[in-house]
Amino acid sequence: MDDFVTQSDLAAFAESKVNLPSDDAEAGRVRVKTLRDRLTQHIATNPDFDLVKMLHAGSVAKGTALRTANDMDLAVYVRDAAAPDDSQLVNWLRDRLREVYQGFLDSDQIQAGTHCATVTFKSGAIRNVDIVPILYEGDDDDFGFLIAKDTGDRLLTSVRLHLEFVRGRKVAYPRHYAQLIRLVKWWIRQQRQLDADFRFKSFMAELIVTHLVESGTPMTSYLDALEQVFGYIFKSGLRERISFSDYYKPSELPSTTEGVIEVFDPVNASNNVAYRYTESDRERIVNAAQDALGAIAEARYATTKGRAVECWQIVLGPSFHG
């Protein structure tokens, strides 16, 4: 018997509900480019300016953003020697950005948040641009200390190499790779709506999916691919170390870490992206994956379309109608 919920149902749902429409993504990228260009002009007339350059980072740049995205990430490289203490950094950054965008943005459109500055536009699908500082000493590969916008952690990394990492996989696995990431992120979003304590960072999800795809997970059927992702999370318990050898040798990884979950930054073998995750965070993820797995299995054996859709709603939320 054919499944009541098929690949084309999932693909249609992804297209209409999950994915950021390409026009919105494009409008966002144009906006980010305008912000970057203005900084470049400012630097041309003020060569000693403390902000060195900007790079579009995050999901809109990578093509993995959800329709529900309300912010874009723009990394700003700050001359390390000029940066004040961490406690002052965001207010200082806000003031520098107000100098750069004077006459282009009202000063109240540029605010300091907890760990990043935010530019708010008055219209458009994605109105906020989070400007995340990276303390920089001129590294050729754009490595610097990223101040994580959710935690304030200082992370030695390169958002440019992250973009290259993801773009390379998008070329190797056209279309389905990015789609699978977005569907998994969508599932994460549903879990968060049900449980405010559920944590599963987008970047970590992206790396786990990348690992599975490279281990041979077939992606052309989203149904099978999602089943594989949840099956992996459930079976491994996320206790297996995940890393990539694009930018370092496996021997450069630490032999052990304190991390309950280990998913290493593909560009820095010392940076476990999951290092803050606790045992209860891990259990929540594994339990949710088990529920999703059970729901997908049940959907396969459902005797009515209505029941199959109900099962899939456990995975994709109430807006999935089959």
Ligand X SMILES: Nc1ncnc2c1ncn2[C@@H]1O[C@H](COP(=O)(O)OP(=O)(O)OP(=O)(O)O)[C@@H](O)[C@H]1O
Site residues (vs ligand X, CB under 6 A): 57-59, 62, 64-66, 69, 73, 146, 148, 155, 157, 159, 162, 201-203, 265, 271, 273
291/118 Cα distance (integer angstroms): 37
Which is closer to ligand X, CB of 27 or CB of 155? 155
Stretch near Mg ion under the rule CB under 5 A, chosen from 65-73, 75-83, 213-221, 277-285: 65-73
- Min dist CB 59 to Mg ion, Å, is 5
- Asked whether position 262 contacts Mg ion by CB under 5 A, the answer is no
The alpha carbon of 20 is separated from its chain's Cα centroid by a whole number of angstroms, namely 13
- Min dist CB 18 to ligand X, Å, is 12
Which is closer to ligand X, CB of 1 or CB of 171? 171
- Min dist CB 258 to ligand X, Å, is 15
Which is closer to Mg ion, CB of 59 or CB of 272? 59
- Min dist CB 274 to ligand X, Å, is 8
CB under 5 to 8 A by kind: which of ligand X, Mg ion, none does 273 bind? ligand X
CB under 5 to 8 A by kind: which of Mg ion, ligand X, none does 312 bind? none
Q: Which residue is nearest to Mg ion (CB)?
A: 58
Among 10, 20, 39, 58, binds Mg ion (CB under 5 A): 58
CB under 5 to 8 A by kind: which of Mg ion, ligand X, none does 201 bind? ligand X
Closest to 51 (Cα-Cα) out of 28, 29, 74: 74
CB under 5 to 8 A by kind: which of Mg ion, ligand X, none does 130 bind? none
Torsion of CA 294, 295, 300, 306, to 10 degrees: 150
Q: What is the 3-state secondary structure (H, E, C) of the chain?
A: CCCCCCHHHHHHHHHHHHECCHHHHHHHHHHHHHHHHHHHHHHHHCCCCCEEEEEEECHHHHCCCECCCCEEEEEEEEEHHHCCCHHHHHHHHHHHHHHHCECCECHHHEEECCCCEEEECCCCCCCEEEEEEEEECCCCCCCEEEECCCCCCEEEECHHHHHHHHHHHHHHCCCHHHHHHHHHHHHHHHHHHHCCCCCCCHHHHHHHHHHHHHCCCCCCCHHHHHHHHHHHHHHHCCCCCECCCCCCCHHHCCCCCCCCCCEECCCCCCCECCCCCCHHHHHHHHHHHHHHHHHHHHHHHCCCHHHHHHHHHHHHCCCCCC
- Asked whether position 73 contacts Mg ion by CB under 5 A, the answer is yes
Amino acid at 227: E
Number of residues that bind Mg ion (CB under 5 A): 3
Amino acid at 304: T
CB under 5 to 8 A by kind: which of Mg ion, ligand X, none does 221 bind? none
CB under 5 to 8 A by kind: which of Mg ion, ligand X, none does 69 bind? ligand X
- Min dist CB 132 to Mg ion, Å, is 9
Which pair of tokens denotes residue 166?
């993801």
The alpha carbon of 304 is separated from its chain's Cα centroid by a whole number of angstroms, namely 36
- Min dist CB 162 to ligand X, Å, is 4
CB under 5 to 8 A by kind: which of Mg ion, ligand X, none does 57 bind? ligand X
Which is closer to Mg ion, CB of 73 or CB of 265? 73
- Min dist CB 158 to ligand X, Å, is 8
CB under 5 to 8 A by kind: which of ligand X, Mg ion, none does 144 bind? none
Q: Where do contacts with Mg ion occur on this chain (CB under 5 A)?
A: 58-59, 73
